[in-house]
Amino acid sequence: MRIIILILSMLAFAGNTHASTEINYFVIQDQAQPFQNHVNKLEHDGIVTDIVKRIFSGPEYKLKIHTLPFNRMIKMLEDNRYKNWITFGSPNWPGVQSLNLSDLPIFHVKHALLTSKQQESPISTAEDMFGKTVVILHGFNYPGLEEHIANKKINAINVKNYQAAFKVVDRLADKAGFVEMDVRIKYNLEKESLDVSDYVLHNFSKVIADYDLHLAMSGTFDKKAQQHVNDTLKAIQRDGTLASIVAAY
């Protein structure tokens, strides 16, 4: 009799236990701070990372983090090797990071051009950079500049990280500028112990229009999990948590 009761108890416990849904979060290696920060691919934080961790903090989800170079990450997402992948993206971007986005944006992006103080005259259009050099991050897209780079009206130097970008701006002080989101420039200047007041930060919105960032998900993302993403974003926007996460960086 005791054996029967034990078996029935085990069956009841098993019936009330549900396997957690695996969520695969993709992080761009070394190029997405402060949206995605990492130390040795192990310790992760940042605006997007903190939001994703907050959304999938419950026991019904198992969050796995994959840290890859940008081009390799895009190839993985395009191949859809992981059913429930999530990262960040925008409707303004080409490709897989624009196809299935969260209902609400998580950040409003503005672009800037960082130059040395030797170029204090305002630079706000692509034409202002004709004959000069733009420093850009390897693998990323730069609408508004790519045509002029292809026509060789603007020179381009590709770099792999922010440290290298700042070094080029310092070395080519009279003719180079680093194009990037203004929040990334400011964050990484501070990270490298550089003073933003030693540079000129030109508003580059006329060249690369402002846009919103969203969470980007696979086309096969679990429908219940995606609803959870959208519901949680609404909740943390309403209670101020989203603004607090952004403000921390």
63-80 pLDDT, tens per residue? 999 999 999 999 999 998
Whole-number pLDDT of residue 1: 52
Question: Are 215 and 52 contacting, i.e. CB atoms less than 8 angstroms apart?
Answer: yes
187-207 pLDDT, tens per residue? 999 999 998 889 999 999 999
Question: Are 214 and 89 contacting, i.e. CB atoms less than 8 angstroms apart?
Answer: yes
β-pairing, 85-89 with 211-217?
Answer: antiparallel
Cα–Cα dist 78/84, whole Å: 13
Whole-number pLDDT of residue 10: 47
DSSP codes of every residue in 197-221: GGEEEEE-TTTS--EEEEEEE-TT-
Confidence of residue 3 (pLDDT cuts 50, 70, 90): low
| Polymer length in residues for the chain | 249
This prediction has a pTM of 0.80
Interaxial angle between packed helices 162-171 and 182-191, expressed in degrees from 0 to 180 and rounded to the nearest 10: 90
Is the pLDDT assigned to residue 242 strictly greater than 60?
yes
β-pairing, 85-89 with 21-28?
Answer: parallel
Instruction: Identify whether 34 is preceded by a cis peptide bond (ω within 30 of 0).
Output: yes
149-171 pLDDT, tens per residue? 999 999 999 998 999 999 999 99
Q: Where are the alpha helices (DSSP H) in the chain?
A: 2-15, 47-55, 70-79, 146-150, 162-171, 182-191, 223-238, 241-247
87-99 pLDDT, tens per residue? 999 998 889 999 9
Cα–Cα dist 213/35, whole Å: 10
Confidence of residue 14 (pLDDT cuts 50, 70, 90): very low
Strand partners, 69: none
Give the closest residue to 134 by CA, choosing from 177, 105, 163: 177
Whole-number pLDDT of residue 12: 44
Cα–Cα dist 177/170, whole Å: 9
The pLDDT > 90 percentage for the chain reads 76
Q: Can you read off the two tokens belonging to residue 141?
A: 């897209």
**Average pLDDT score over the chain:** 90
Positive/negative CA dihedral, 184, 109, 120, 196: negative
* Domains by residue range for the chain, with CATH: 20-108+213-247 (3.40.190.10), 111-203 (3.40.190.10)
Give the closest residue to 35 by CA, choosing from 85, 77, 88, 76: 88
Whole-number pLDDT of residue 102: 97
Instruction: Say whether 248 sits in a helix, a strand or coil.
Output: coil
Q: Which secondary structure element, helix H or strand E, spans residue 80, and what is its range? A: none
Question: How many helices and strands, by DSSP H and E, does the chain display?
Answer: 8, 12
One-letter amino acid for residue 160 of the chain: K
